[in-house]
Structure 1
Amino acid sequence: MTISPEQKLSSLNLVLPPPPKPAGQYRPARLVGNMLYLSGQGPRNINGEFLTGRLGNELSVEEGYMAARNTGLQLLAVAKDVLGDLSRIEAVVKVAGMVNCEENFTEHAAVVNGCSDLFVEVLGDKGYHTRSVAGMNSLPLGMILQIDAIISIKD
């Protein structure tokens, strides 16, 4: 028997947050054909406020990893809102992560692994993806990181 992504989330004691509302003139997601494009999301607390800070001197790699994992849940929440069922995901195609960090910080990939690991844990082989990561000297509203994704949807 195949376990659904929603069942997998439950078995990991993870709950999808409410899908975030746009903070500007854009949509959180756009479905074009069988491709779902997810706008950049950042980590949020239980009240929906962005978690802020910079990697390097202020935040540890472990804290960044957990922020990226949190952001992965935000992205899955948006996907579920659009698709109704995460089982419609055929594959996570691409993830791009931007890390708010000090100039000398070099562990961007270790931070964004929080999101990548979450996708694989929840979606199995469908969660493996191509990826880009980069360091930024600032991000909107001071958020720790921002991640967007492109997902292929089953016909």
Structure 2
Amino acid sequence: MSAEDRLNELGLELPATYTPVATYVPAKRVGDLLFLSGQGPRLADGSHHVGKVGAEVTVAEAYEHAKLVGLGLLAAIKAAAGDLDKVEIVKLLGMVNATPDFTQQPEVINGCSDLLVAVLGERGRHARSAVGMGSLPNGMTVEIEAIVRILP
């Protein structure tokens, strides 16, 4: 089953890709590697989910925010590589805007990781870091960047 079929089966669709608001590109290809800039949980109107996880945002809510970021990353991958069936996720760096005592960053970033495996199967399994941050741009709850290998 193709990645597009899995998305349909899950009732999900890829969002529109975004245009950066600063001096960077959404993705940079070097050889067979694709480096994706960090993305936040973007809503349809272009705004983001905001707040501190461990205070006004629950782990379950932040998990869903990370899942939303995963869809954005898949959209960026498709735009850069052309075909989700010809990529594998190598590494994620997941950052959580959290209170100082928050320790459940891995559970939050699982939202993205679980989505990538659901859509890409074994090609979605990856190495990962999940860390807490004192703040993230515009107060967003999570930001995730990725390294992807484009298969021959």
Relative to the length of structure 2, the TM-score reads 0.98
The AA in structure 2 aligned to 1:77 is: A
- Which of 54, 57, 60 is the matching residue for 2:55? 57
- Secondary structure of residue in 1 paired with 2:101: coil
Q: Secondary structure at the match of 1:113?
A: helix
Q: Which of 73, 79, 82 matches 2:80?
A: 82
- Could you give the per-residue CA deviations for residues 98-132 of structure 1, whole angstroms, max 9, x where no partner exists? 10000111000000000000000000000000000
CA distance in 1: counterparts of 2:2 and 2:19, whole angstroms? 26
Aligned residue identity for 2:9: S
The letter for the 1-side match of 2:41 is P
Q: What CA deviation, in whole Å up to 9, does each residue of 1:65-111 have, x standing for no partner?
A: 0000000001001011111211111x211000010000111000000
Of 119, 135, 138, the residue aligned with 2:135 is: 138
Instruction: Tell me how far apart the structure 2 counterparts of residues 142 and 56 of structure 1 sit (CA, whole Å).
Output: 14
**Quick one: which amino acid aligns to residue 131 of structure 1?**
R
- Counterpart for residue 22 of structure 2: 24
Structure 2: runs of 5 or more not aligned:
none
Q: Which amino acid aligns with 1:81?
A: A
Matched, 1:10 2:31: no
Are 1:44 and 2:46 an aligned pair? no
Q: TM-score, normalised by structure 1?
A: 0.96
Number of residue equivalences: 152
Give the AA of the match of 2:75: A
In structure 2, the residue corresponding to 1:63 is in which secondary structure? helix
